[in-house]
Amino acid sequence: MRSRLMDLLFPPRCVLCRHGLTGKGPLCPDCAADIRQSYRAQGARPVEGCKDTDAALLYRGKVRRALVACKFQDKPTLGAWGGGMVAACLLRHQPDWKPDLVTFVPTTLGHWWKRGFNLSRLLAREAAKRCGLPCVPTLRRRWFARSQLRMQGEAARWHNAAHTYSPGKHVQIAGKRVVLVDDILTSGATAAACAALLRQMGAAEVYFLCLAKTPSHAKKMTEKGENLPGKS
């Protein structure tokens, strides 16, 4: 009821062009189509500990604007649309990967409290549902671990990621082929740290998927302090 009332008072608009929306996603059909056609990624860089990786989009331009708007303006609706993009990647690889389950990179308690959602979890749940796979929370983030956004330089990101995550309780993934999902791939530090833990927990294989990856030049920009709302 509250949601319907808010929609009447403040009609939902596309996070990019600000035109009115008729569906539940964050983007109008024109902007969504433009992103699919103009920002499609051609694979993703290798991630240590992962047998294979892939990304749906390039993190730049309209993709960056959409993710920033959805992550920092309380718009979890990107989960369904973005999850569909991740699902398309997973469906393409499913015959070769033969995954048993999908999991995700946990977010910080502060981010969860501030936003009310973990975008990586929303993406993973939607992708898993569309591919007929279970979505299982397998990892925990240490309470007082520092955010990757605060790390300056690739070396600092790798060091921080290695001390940020721990295995979840009562998780049984021994012998399983696991797909790890995150929203943005930058240095690969977070994905590698999580993949290493999943392997320690007994995963037979780990694969990595993300909604967007930073172009090669963006890594240099992160080292100069540009604010990227991703963790991997």
173 CB contacts (<8 Å, ≥6 apart)? 101, 136, 138, 198, 201, 202, 203
For the stretch 74-111, pLDDT in tens is 566 778 889 999 999 999 999 999 999 999 999 866 55
Residue found under tokens 């392997």: 199
Rounded to whole angstroms, how far apart are CA atoms 12 and 14?
7
Rounded to whole angstroms, how far apart are CA atoms 55 and 65?
17
Rounded to whole angstroms, how far apart are CA atoms 128 and 4?
28
Structure-token pair, residue 67:
């993710």
Please answer whether residues 62 and 36 qualify as being in contact, where contact means their C-beta atoms are separated by less than 8 angstroms.
no
| Integer angstrom CA distances of residue 22 from 12, 40, 79, 105 | 8, 25, 17, 31
Q: What angle do CA 211, 227, 66 make, to 5 degrees?
A: 40
Write down all domains in the chain, each with its CATH number in brackets. 39-223 (3.40.50.2020)
Whether the predicted model's global pTM rises above the 0.75 cut: yes
What is residue 102's three-state secondary structure? strand
For the stretch 111-163, pLDDT in tens is 555 666 788 999 999 999 999 999 999 998 876 555 545 555 556 555 556 66
Please answer whether residues 125 and 83 qualify as being in contact, where contact means their C-beta atoms are separated by less than 8 angstroms.
yes
- Note the pLDDT of residue 6: 47
The dihedral through the CA atoms of 152, 153, 156, 162 has a sign that is: positive
